[in-house]
Each structure stands twice: as structure tokens, then as C-alpha cells.
Amino acid sequence: QADAIWTHLFVDRSPLSEACQGVVTTLNLLGLSALVKTRDLPAIREPNAYVDLVFRLAKIRYVVMTNIPFDPQEASYWTNHTPYNARQFRTALRVDQLLLGDWASLGPALDLQHLPHTLAGVTQYLESWVDILRPVYFMASVPATFALRESAAADPLAIQPDGAMLLQHVLLPLAQSRRLPVALKFGAVKFLATYLSRVNQHEVTVVANKFANVHIYGCWWYCNNPSIIAEMTRLRLEILGTGFTAQHSDARVLDQLLYKWRHFRGVLTDVLVPLYTQLHRNGWPVTALAIDRDVGTLLGHGYEEFLHKQL
């Protein structure tokens, strides 16, 4: 299968797509041409050293994982207290199942802890997982059909309450009490937001401009192509200045960190140079120190400041 994929994407045609270019960049940065030919994977990877190598080449300090406590296989990893590298791999608690009222996933998870299928049961379950994972935020991915009812009265006796009730009476109060942002009209809770569709980008940028508790970040999935990244980044800079996080890794495997960040830095440079040139032309002093500060804000410091911001 690997031979067929390689032949189809890299031998029979030039690897021009962003995904294929990413493979080429990764192999080039790692200097793996000889080892790839012999498929000597043990020579490539000693886990800890390889993580350090990838982080050093990608020039990143840490990543935030997606952690799903409603997945039995993943949950067993954490409940067994398996050691992991918390310095370089931080956690985020994924709550899609709550927003969607997905009791096919929620029910078995609560049953394992002998908890009722109620608001109180879900709250207790999430509380325990916040203590286990110690996440930096909650996160969720929801379909375009997702809609939140304007008001959902709390019913402590309701069996298998719907997503609107779980969001308003479990997730948001817990986010507020634990001071955790939600990566998703609640002024006391911070929201980290990114959108899959290009057509939503202007609207969400204006929302971030209007609401201090919204921070937008990254170019997600099919928006993570150079031409669209450049367009979105320029739009955000023109409306928000440096008040957003320009990119996130969105990596499924560790190796993707290498090409995604290398490619993005080139795009960011192309977007920023005309803006600094315009400033300079209009008499504003542009210094290396100021550029370093701005780029640092766009590439992580702004996100960290948002996490610690008092509302």
C-alpha cells in the first residue's frame, strides 16, 4: 500500500499539493533520504530524542493535544496513570459529545463510573477528568448544522439532557469555575475559535474585534493552504492588528509539525513585509525589536496572554 501511494503521488507526477510538498519538506529537514530508501525506521526514531529533534526543527516550545475522556481506549491510558511528557505535550479536554448530546458516547462513559445520566452525573464526570487531565482549555468541533437554543432551563431530574442543556448548565459553569477557555453569548467565559470554511472568516474576525472574550486562531484543515492562509492572515491583521494567533499546528502526526510551521513562516513573512513597508513609508519607526515582539505575539504569546486575561 505504501509503495502504491508513493508511486501514485510522488513518482507518476510531481508532488505539487500542499500535503505532498509537506512530505518533501519533512524528509528534507530530517535528512532522511537514505534511511527512507532502506525503510530503517528504528534508525530514525528513538521516541524522546525524535520529539526533541522535531520540536527543535519546527521551532516550537510545546503542543496542545486533543484528549477525549469519552473514548474508552484513551480513557484507560489516563486512568492507568501512564507517564507522559507533560512539558512538551499539554492537554485539552474535548467535549463534542456534550454539545451534540451524544448519549451513545456519554452513557457508557458515565456507566463505567456508576454515575446517573443527568446534569449532575455529567458534571461529576467532567470534574473528575479536569482533575486527571489538567487541561489548558475545553475544545469541540461541531458540524455546520449545530445550533444552540437561546435558553434551556436546567432540569436536575432530566434523563439524558440534550446538548443545549449540557452546554449551559454543565460545560459553561465548569469552564467559568475552573477558569478554562472553551475552544468553540457568555461574557464570563473565554472562547478560542477557528472555522473550517473560508466564507466564515470575515464574520468571525469582526466578532473577535467586538468581543474581548473571543480569540481566533489558526487556519484549519482545508484552509491550511498557502493562498488561503495569506488571505486570512492579511484580513485578520487589517482588522485585529496582532490581536489573534496566526496559526496552529493542526497536526495528526508529529512529523507534520516540521513542514506546517516551516511553510507557514514563509507565508507570514510575505504578508507582514508589505505592512511594515507601508508603516515605514508613512514615517513610523520599524525596528527589529518591534517586529520580534509582534511576531512573538502572533505565534503564541498572544494566545498565552488570552488564557491568563481577566474578564
**Does 197 or 121 have the greater pLDDT score?**
121
Let me know how long the chain is: 311
Cα angle 56, 220, 277; round to 5: 70
Residue-wise pLDDT for 5-60, tens only, equals 888 888 888 887 788 889 888 888 888 766 666 666 666 667 888 899 999 999 99
Query: In which residue are the cell numbers 468553540 written?
Result: 184
Spell out where the chain has E strands: 63-64, 89-90, 93-94, 138-139, 182-183, 191-193, 214-216
Q: Report the DSSP pairing between strands 138-139 and 182-183.
A: parallel
Q: Reduce the DSSP state of residue 310 to 3 states and report it.
A: coil
State pLDDT tens for residues 205-260.
999 999 999 999 999 988 999 999 999 999 999 999 999 999 999 898 999 999 99
pTM of the model: 0.78
Where b means 16+ CB within 10 Å and e means fewer, 226-244 reads eebbbbbbeebbeebebbb
